[in-house]
Structure 1
Amino acid sequence: MTVFVCAGCDAVLSAPVSQVALPVHAHQEWGNGVLLPVLMESGTYAVDPAPWGPPWRRWSEVGEHEAAARGVFAPVYALSYGIPGAIVVAPGDTRGTVLIPDRCSGYCCGLDGGDGPNLACERCGRAVATRIDDCSLWQVVWFAPDAVRGLPADEPAARTVGWEVAPTRERQGPPPVDQTGQWSPQWEAAAGAGLAHLLAASSGTPVDVPDGLLSDLFGRALDALLPGGAAPAGAPAKTMAPAGPGLPVPDPAPDIVLVPRHPRTGDPWQPSGTVQAVPLPAEVWAHLAFPRERLPVPVTGGLPDGVLRDDPPPMRPWRPLWPDREIFLDTLARLPAVRKPWLRGVYDRVRDRRSYPHLF
């Protein structure tokens, strides 16, 4: 495990934490006036490998070639030239910090970080982190990578045991739909990022989406974005299915497989052969790989093996799932495949807010 300390005076700034994968929804803005919960589980931290925050430079100033060298292959409003490697923790895992009063900007319910680092080291006064807890934003503390350094903690390190730590049928993450019928913001974020990878893997060919959660996640979007496809007329639709730890090898093999990202390292599970792989957060993938549908009618008598209780009632959405538009665009802009004319056309149409108003 790791303890983060001030780079200026070595004061302890965090509880002991162990590293996990950066959540796909780390920079998500969701809802209107909604108070989102804490992003990170207590006792964990993640590192954002991409630069984030000021200074920002407009796309017209950067140019296509310099942007590509920084891993962005389609026009964006602006690119961050900040220092990469920001460290995100749960607010409750911070220690020895105080708010900087003149940097406490926010929209209406809390801090949004718009004025830059708003937490200082209590001992030396150095600006070390940004606390965010405003409405529509996940509650986090981002340590500035040049203001802190990590030291080994005295506690035993969390052991990474390959894919044995991945979610399974018995260890699934939050459900896709809550009891009110609202889709989870994590699922909408995963749909946005996964849709970008899925379009790139399709090569412009229509994709046959199985019924169930997979259809909820990607069906409407693929129908809208690939109505005729960019492949030659008569080309068969591509097939897709989940693949990964705990699943049998599909026979026949699908053209596209949905695979989990390792919950600690973030690395995607690697399928055999040359099949196209679409990475998803492990918690979302587990629900797709091991569906646990509730029965729509009560069950009388004893419950047979494999049958779930009908109380509480089945969780059903009251609206279609909307993939997170900003996460979709950000993910797609960072895939080299977006330079293909057909996929760049999809990117440009989605970026135009007048396009697909009922999809995103």
Structure 2
Amino acid sequence: MDVFACAGCGTELTAPVSRVALPVHAHHGAWEELHPPLMESATYAVDSRPTGPPWRLWEEVGEEAAARQGVYAPVYSVSFGARNRIVIAPGDSRSMALIPEKCEGYCRGVDGRAGPNLACEECGRAVATRMDDCGMWQTVWLEPDAVVCRPSGLLPAGPPPCWDDLERAEHRVPPVEPDGSWSRRWEAAVGVVLAHLVATTAGGPVILPAGPVAELLGHAVGRCLPAGPGARTVGLAGPGVAPPRPRPAVLLVPLHPLTGETWRPAGDEGAVVPLDSGVWAYFAHPGETSPMPASGVLPEGVLRDDYPLPSQPWYPLMPNRRAFADTLVGLPAIRAPQLRRFRDERR
């Protein structure tokens, strides 16, 4: 496990934390809602992309400079903030105090628009940004040039996350919240996977596999990608789930829970589309979900199912629009003329 300390005076600014993959929904919440912490306690993640202020208008930046920032299609503004910012749960922060004149926000909290708003209590150096306004996951983002990472001397509570974690029941993320609304994490994940599908297929039609994938993603995919001849087949694959035979044109595969790397079958060079590991695990290992009572002796591994049917939203699952748009402009494939036309028609 690691701790992050002030680069100026050495004061420890975090509890011991272990690195995990950056959640795909890190920058995508639901407008006018308060969200819980993004990160689990005792974990941190690193965003390799430029994030936060300063922002520069696309017209001032130009296509080449924007591409160096990881933006490949016109947007209103481009971030020239730091790369490799470190995100932790607010409860894991230590020895930091708010900078009052930088605590601006939209309505219910602070959004970091003025840059770092947390200072080291010992030396006063601006070291991090607290974000918790409506529509944002509660986070503390450490500035990479203001902190240093040190070994904590403590061992993690368990082994680091690995592909095997995807088969654990607690790793699965259900698509519906306890209040009956769609999961905000799922909405962001659908936006991200939809953008990758558009880039992979050049905006062409696809055929989703029957079952939960088609039931949950079908409406969003159908609204974005046209129907018609020449549709590419999509299948699910990953650790413990072999690709269907014959191999579909596109495979939905998970992201590694520690490194964020995309899973790929050994020796396979075909098209793959990355999916949030918790969402993928729900598709691949849904567990016992049958609402029909079993008769006779219950087979081994089957749970009692005399529970009420789970609540379902009255409207279909839709992607987080910002997650879709931000992901799509961050993919170099968007530069292709066909995809540029696709995006311009839907702006």
Task: Give the TM bin, normalised by the shorter chain.
Answer: over 0.9
CA distance in 1, matches of 2:175, 2:104: 33
CA distance in 2, matches of 1:127, 1:69: 27
CA distance in 2, matches of 1:318, 1:301: 35
1:346 maps to amino acid: F
CA distance in 2, matches of 1:253, 1:320: 29
Equivalence for 1:126:
125
Equivalence for 2:198:
199
Equivalence for 1:73:
72
Contact 1:110–1:132 under 8 Å retained in 2: yes
Contact 1:169–1:287 under 8 Å retained in 2: no
Deviation (angstroms), 1:47: 0.6
1:24 maps to amino acid: V
1:270 maps to amino acid: R
Deviation (angstroms), 1:208: 0.8
Q: 1:333 to 1:6 in 2, by over 3 A?
A: same
Equivalence for 1:333:
329
Contact 2:116–2:129 under 8 Å retained in 1: yes
Equivalence for 1:265:
259
CA distance in 1, matches of 2:241, 2:291: 26
Deviation (angstroms), 1:101: 1.8
Deviation (angstroms), 1:344: 1.7
CA distance in 2, matches of 1:216, 1:341: 32
What whole-Å deviation, never above 9, does each CA across 1:224-267 have from its counterpart, x for those lacking one? Answer: 223256xxxx43x2111111111134211111111110001000
Unaligned runs of 5+ in 1: 352-360
Q: 1:169 to 1:11 in 2, by over 3 A?
A: closer
Query: Percentage identity across aligned positions?
Result: 53
2:47 maps to amino acid: D
What whole-Å deviation, never above 9, does each CA across 1:183-235 have from its counterpart, x for those lacking one? Answer: 10000100001001111222343111123331244322332223256xxxx43
Confirm or deny that 1:282 pairs with 2:281.
no
SS in 2 for 1:117: coil
What whole-Å deviation, never above 9, does each CA across 1:78-102 have from its counterpart, x for those lacking one? Answer: 1111221111000110111111122
State the aligned residue count.
344
Deviation (angstroms), 1:161: 6.8
Deviation (angstroms), 1:333: 0.7
The TM-score with structure 2 as length reference comes to 0.92
Instruction: Say what the alpha-carbon RMSD is for the aligned residues.
Output: 2.0
Contact 1:2–1:17 under 8 Å retained in 2: yes
| Greater shift in the superposed pair: 62-71 or 118-127 | 62-71
Equivalence for 1:155:
154
The TM-score with structure 1 as length reference comes to 0.89
Unaligned runs of 5+ in 2: none
CA distance in 2, matches of 1:217, 1:77: 31
1:314 maps to amino acid: P
Q: 1:323 to 1:216 in 2, by over 3 A?
A: farther
Deviation (angstroms), 1:300: 6.1
What whole-Å deviation, never above 9, does each CA across 1:105-147 have from its counterpart, x for those lacking one? Answer: 2233222222321111111111111111222210111111111
Equivalence for 1:313:
309
Equivalence for 1:292:
287
CA distance in 2, matches of 1:266, 1:148: 23
SS in 2 for 1:182: coil
| Greater shift in the superposed pair: 86-95 or 311-320 | 311-320
SS in 2 for 1:4: strand
CA distance in 1, matches of 2:144, 2:260: 20
Equivalence for 2:141:
142
Equivalence for 1:110:
109
Determine which of 256, 263, 272 is the counterpart of 2:250. Answer: 256
CA distance in 1, matches of 2:215, 2:141: 33
Deviation (angstroms), 1:343: 1.7
CA distance in 2, matches of 1:328, 1:126: 36
Contact 1:329–1:347 under 8 Å retained in 2: no
Equivalence for 1:354:
none
Superposition map of 1:17-28 within 5 A: 17-28=17-28
Equivalence for 1:213:
212
Q: 1:110 to 1:69 in 2, by over 3 A?
A: closer
Determine which of 237, 242, 245 is the counterpart of 2:239. Answer: 245
Runs of 4+ in 1 over 6 A off after TM superposition: none
| Greater shift in the superposed pair: 166-175 or 271-280 | 166-175
Deviation (angstroms), 1:76: 1.1
Deviation (angstroms), 1:167: 1.1
